[in-house]
Amino acid sequence: MPELPEVETIRRQLAEKIVGKKLDGREITAARRRAKLLLIDFSDGASLVFHLKLTGQLIFNAEPGKYTRHVFRFDDGSRLIFNDARKFGWWKKVPSTKNIEDEFGPEALAVTLPVFRALLAKKKRTKIKALLMDQKSIAGIGNIYSDEILFAAGVRPDRPAGSLIEGEARKIYLSIKKILKSAIKHHGSSIKDYLDAFGQKGGYVPYHKVYQKEKCLKCGTSIKKVKMGGRTAHYCPQCQI
């Protein structure tokens, strides 16, 4: 499922291409992201909200294909293609995005260290990987980047939030910023179906250190894989404590 870096990549690309265009006579004023949602705003205050889920794609000026679910045609003749092979993704028009945006916690790239510390204190019994993926606690991080963040911080994914000492909490906080910014720089991770707004694969997979790896790239230890909340966590039992 596309996470913050993938959706942010698409947002930035579409902002350059569609802001100022008209769709059904209404001018597009902004392309925004909230958590893993893409928001396209119109001059009348309404918005289109997209959730790509597992296989959704938003590609500018592509040709419709087998898995195309909708074609948004702009007044100047350009178009935005919404593909979704498994049909879990969705889009809808809303008069306001406030209620939708209020469902999420602080943005992962914007959260401050004091707020992050307070979150850990509030969710002491929650496993740290589950906490990072909880969109109501911190918005935008999913399975891939929670694994990469915790590896960078040297913390096991099954550690309760309350067990983290100050230095560990700070390392996780800094790793959130570092990993997500690096992934955005490389246009995200194309594991299966993700493509950016120009139909290109993201370039961050070669930078993965632990997600879907068999051996730790740092020490050579076999990567552990454990089920957590219906997802598979990957970690190095030697490098993460």
The better pLDDT of the pair 45, 229 is held by 45
DSSP per residue, 175-233:
HHHHHHHHHHHTT---SSS---TTS---S-GGG-SSTT-SB-TTT-PBPEEEEETTEEE
Q: What pLDDT does residue 230 have?
A: 87
Whether 2 is catalytic is yes
Distances (CA, A) of 14 to 39, 42, 80: 11, 14, 9
Whether 127 is catalytic is no
Residue with tokens 């007044």: 75
Instruction: Please tell me the pTM assigned to this model.
Output: 0.97
Cβ-Cβ contacts under 8 Å for 195 (sequence gap 6 or more): 57, 59, 201
Average pLDDT, the chain: 97
Q: How far apart are CA 46 and CA 44, in angstroms?
A: 6
Q: Which of 33, 36, 159, 171 is catalytic?
A: 36
In the structure, how many helices (H) and strands (E) does the chain have? 6, 10
Q: What pLDDT does residue 229 have?
A: 82
Which SS3 state, helix, strand or coil, does residue 131 take? helix
Task: Please state, as a whole number, how many other Cβ atoms lie within 10 Å of the Cβ of residue 228.
Answer: 15
Q: What is the pLDDT of residues 76-125, one digit of tens each?
A: 999 999 999 999 999 999 999 999 999 999 999 999 999 999 999 999 99
Q: How far apart are CA 93 and CA 39, in angstroms?
A: 10
Q: How far apart are CA 90 and CA 134, in angstroms?
A: 20
pLDDT mean over 223-230: 93
Q: Decide: residue 26, CB within 10 A, 0-12 exposed, 13-18 middle, 19+ buried.
A: middle
Q: Which of 17, 22, 201, 231 is catalytic?
A: 231
Which domains occur in the chain, in start order?
Answer: 4-101 (3.20.190.10), 113-191+204-235 (1.10.8.50)
DSSP state of 2: -
Q: What is the pLDDT of residues 36-80, one digit of tens each?
A: 999 999 999 999 999 999 999 999 999 999 999 999 999 999 999
Type and span of the H or E element at 133: helix 128-133
What region does 36 belong to: left with phi over 0, alpha with psi -120 to 50, or beta?
A: alpha
Residue 143 has pLDDT above 90, yes or no: yes
Which SS3 state, helix, strand or coil, does residue 36 take? coil
Q: What pLDDT does residue 182 have?
A: 98
